[in-house]
Chain A
């Protein structure tokens, strides 16, 4: 009689954890987090990396993701950690994995994990929000109204239902630049109901009737520890590099 226990199998333990910074750019910014997960797992297999698996009936590759940018937003600073059964040179892993992923999903940095509190180092994000067909004067007016407010309540549909939260307080920096179009750069502290660029735009609409005529192009430029004095977002890999 067959047993219902998972089959006995040699589960190779994790010998090395590698942290990767990746970018999701151009048309592939429309991929969802789940889309990226599948793409990465397959790229790992194509690249022939010795990925470790969990035990049990349906073994899963040992991959853990940090908070990911919303679908439709580009990013230059997403983070993921993979567990390998053999030690590898992180630069070679970066190169092989990047080659196995489609252009637009790019592995830009890799370090061997030497510390344990990685997720807590992702304290804040720096976002660039490009607003085609918007003048910088218009944007500045809206930004000033945003800045003047103490709290701005916005709504978003979350998995748990419609949530109301403050989109003003976690924003520590909001700068307007002039380029081919108006550009808003924001630095946002990560809090439980994380404030996304969409929420900042909803807040601008709410306090200043600011309504961009075409969909903005959003890019996460950095994630990492926040310097409260300068509002700089630092490199979360620094402790792993031994810097």
Chain B
């Protein structure tokens, strides 16, 4: 475990903690002058100063509801996050609302802030997070949980929601991990499932009304108003009871006027929500430096491991004109050199060929590159990649077969045959691409050593076909392997996770199979992580409220930045779990490598993603029987339940527009 931070002046914050950290300043005052001397002593201080092009600092007094939006990871990861950037704009466009951003501070600054009594701050106005009405956290991954605790502690906000009685910010979680917020429910006032654009406005309105009425019934009164909407989950209004064997017996509301189940939000008609309009241009280097536009939300490919594809249904496309407008306006506002067309499977947009051709035409002479990060395995996809790289170097092209064997791909419902893959990479190598990257997973349900070893066979076939078609020996293939972690609201939510020892053993065999091949071994790169981090992700993903104690213990023992291998400590987490779960009938294995049966009450069953549990179970059974399911965009509805339950429908084109008007960009 990284060295524990010894000074903890406010691990037991009192009502005065925030006042003390405010150091006699007004609510909403800047603390930058107190932070500044510390910045000379830390690494990459630029990440803490704000001032990015298109960032906003609004008048504190003019705002009726203020939000601190936190991405609980380092600035370089958090700043490009689309979700936070969109909500930042949506909120700040309203005169009576205010939003600022904050990110996790690295341990060097954390330690200095504790010594100097400087509170967790926003990077826009360097205001104390404890001064805001809401601290909204976006969890793309569960590995940000410990960073949330650091932020709460540095802000002087009591860690446990039950200890917050005054005007502390409401701590609200969103993002994909919030579809099972139970492991962090002790620390949250509320969680929101699904799309945030309308949800943040709804919550702002409820807070505004409550404040203008003189805050009737205090904090509890506000939370009750939010819970009654049916679309904000307030954990404290639900009780969880357990069976003697450790399973959940039931989850019930403890108030008569809150709903039994809380529903996710679904934003319809993406063209009406044309964000981001003016994306931030960070000064510090970040993981994605590009103008990103979401070309559609949702995915019905039905890959059974994919939580994102399950919880974001139905598919809602942005039109070709809507996409072009965001790209043009965003490039003007940022000066970015790259455009990313984002979605869960971008080649599936009904107008993608026209989008690619039009954007490639429009920006051909402007040194702007286009990328399609999420790709599928077929020749059409290579055509698209060719179109997008007209001028540039054809270096690497990525495909994700996910499963090594045909059998495995039926289990996970990734309908790609070996012939598809070989045909696709052959097309790619023939078109001048030199390097093909393949993504796979290890530890999938029913997987055997043989399924994983077939990854090596496939990679060799890829090189063989590539050498034949290109007539060259210098082509390459990189195999990247991720460990599979079963996720809530997917057909694999009942599955046993593979233990880390077996994961590592399987990967070692695969490595041998590739390295020992004299003909092809050197042309194949292999990238993978050991199985240990996946086990921690596993507890956090499918955990229940008891896991909150594990998170808190791990944090107290020094866990920070768990998504970073140089900070992550598996042994530390296991030791903390032992302490936190002492006297319980459940342990880490129980949460991770145990298969669940149909009758078990899962911790997230009172949270409604729209998916019908019966359908998920049948899909799980189909997986075990190696039966595939089609995509409902092109075949009849298979009753996953989402559209019925949520009153939504698929929104796809084509719109009939095939040509965009030529550039509105200034001629250079």
- Say yes or no: is B394 at the interface (Cβ < 8 Å to chain A): yes
Flag if B668 contacts A85 (CB, 8 Å): yes
Q: Select which of B36, B335, B432 is within 8 A of A46 by beta carbon.
A: B335
User: Do A34 and B337 contact each other (CB < 8 Å), given the known contacts A57-B393, A104-B51?
Assistant: no
Chain A residues 1-46 with CB under 8 Å of chain B are: 1-4, 6-7, 9, 27-28, 30-32, 34-35, 38-39, 41-46
- Say yes or no: is A215 at the interface (Cβ < 8 Å to chain B): yes
**CB-CB nearest in chain B for A48:** B666
Q: How far apart sit A240 and B493, CA to CA, in the bound complex (Å)?
A: 70
Complex interface bits, A179-214 against B, C-beta within 8 A gives 1, otherwise 0: 000000000000000000000000000000000001
Chain B contact residues: helix, strand, loop or mixed: loop
Chain A interface residue count, CB cutoff 8 Å, equals 41
Using Cβ atoms and an 8 Å threshold, which residues of chain A touch B52? 102
Q: How far apart sit A57 and B391, CA to CA, in the bound complex (Å)?
A: 8
Flag if B430 contacts A1 (CB, 8 Å): yes
| Residues of B in contact with A, size category | 35 or more
- Say yes or no: is B575 at the interface (Cβ < 8 Å to chain A): no
- Say yes or no: is A90 at the interface (Cβ < 8 Å to chain B): no
Chain B residues 314-362 with CB under 8 Å of chain A are: 331-337
- Say yes or no: is A170 at the interface (Cβ < 8 Å to chain B): no
Interface centre among A9, A45, A215 (most CB of B within 10 A): A45
Using Cβ atoms and an 8 Å threshold, which residues of chain B touch A71? 45-46
Complex interface bits, B42-58 against A, C-beta within 8 A gives 1, otherwise 0: 00011011111100000
Flag if B393 contacts A72 (CB, 8 Å): no
Flag if A41 contacts B335 (CB, 8 Å): yes
- Say yes or no: is B624 at the interface (Cβ < 8 Å to chain A): no
Using Cβ atoms and an 8 Å threshold, which residues of chain A touch B565? none
Flag if B432 contacts A4 (CB, 8 Å): yes
- Say yes or no: is B195 at the interface (Cβ < 8 Å to chain A): no
Chain B residues 6-51 with CB under 8 Å of chain A are: 32, 36-37, 39-41, 45-46, 48-51
Using Cβ atoms and an 8 Å threshold, which residues of chain A touch B41? 215
Chain A contact residues: helix, strand, loop or mixed: loop
**CB-CB nearest in chain B for A4:** B432
User: Do A58 and B392 contact each other (CB < 8 Å), given the known contacts A39-B283, A85-B668?
Assistant: yes
Flag if B283 contacts A46 (CB, 8 Å): no
Using Cβ atoms and an 8 Å threshold, which residues of chain A touch B284? 31, 35
- Say yes or no: is B161 at the interface (Cβ < 8 Å to chain A): no
Least Cβ distance of B170 to chain A in Å?
30
Using Cβ atoms and an 8 Å threshold, which residues of chain B touch A51? 668
Flag if B668 contacts A50 (CB, 8 Å): yes
- Say yes or no: is B200 at the interface (Cβ < 8 Å to chain A): no
Using Cβ atoms and an 8 Å threshold, which residues of chain B touch A28? 46, 49, 51, 283
Q: How far apart sit A83 and B622, CA to CA, in the bound complex (Å)?
A: 63
Q: How far apart sit A58 and B39, CA to CA, in the bound complex (Å)?
A: 35
Least Cβ distance of B316 to chain A in Å?
31
Flag if B289 contacts A38 (CB, 8 Å): yes
Q: How far apart sit A67 and B331, CA to CA, in the bound complex (Å)?
A: 30
- Say yes or no: is B227 at the interface (Cβ < 8 Å to chain A): no
Using Cβ atoms and an 8 Å threshold, which residues of chain B touch A45? 331, 335-337
User: Do A27 and B430 contact each other (CB < 8 Å), given the known contacts A35-B285, A45-B337, A53-B367?
Assistant: no
Using Cβ atoms and an 8 Å threshold, which residues of chain B touch A174? none
Using Cβ atoms and an 8 Å threshold, which residues of chain A touch B390? 7
Flag if B391 contacts A9 (CB, 8 Å): yes
Q: How far apart sit A53 and B48, CA to CA, in the bound complex (Å)?
A: 33
Using Cβ atoms and an 8 Å threshold, which residues of chain A touch B283? 28, 31, 35, 38-39, 102
**Chain B: residues with CB nearer than 8 A to chain A?**
32, 36-37, 39-41, 45-46, 48-53, 281, 283-285, 289, 331-337, 367, 390-394, 430-432, 470-471, 666, 668
Identify 7 new A-B residue pairs, CB closer than 8 A, beyond the known A2-B394, A27-B49, A38-B285: A1-B432, A1-B470, A42-B336, A46-B334, A58-B392, A58-B393, A85-B668
Sample 8 A-B pairs with CB under 8 A, ordered by A number: A4-B432, A30-B46, A35-B46, A43-B335, A46-B53, A48-B668, A61-B367, A100-B335
**Chain A: residues with CB nearer than 8 A to chain B?**
1-4, 6-7, 9, 27-28, 30-32, 34-35, 38-39, 41-46, 48-51, 53, 57-59, 61, 71-72, 85, 100-104, 214-215
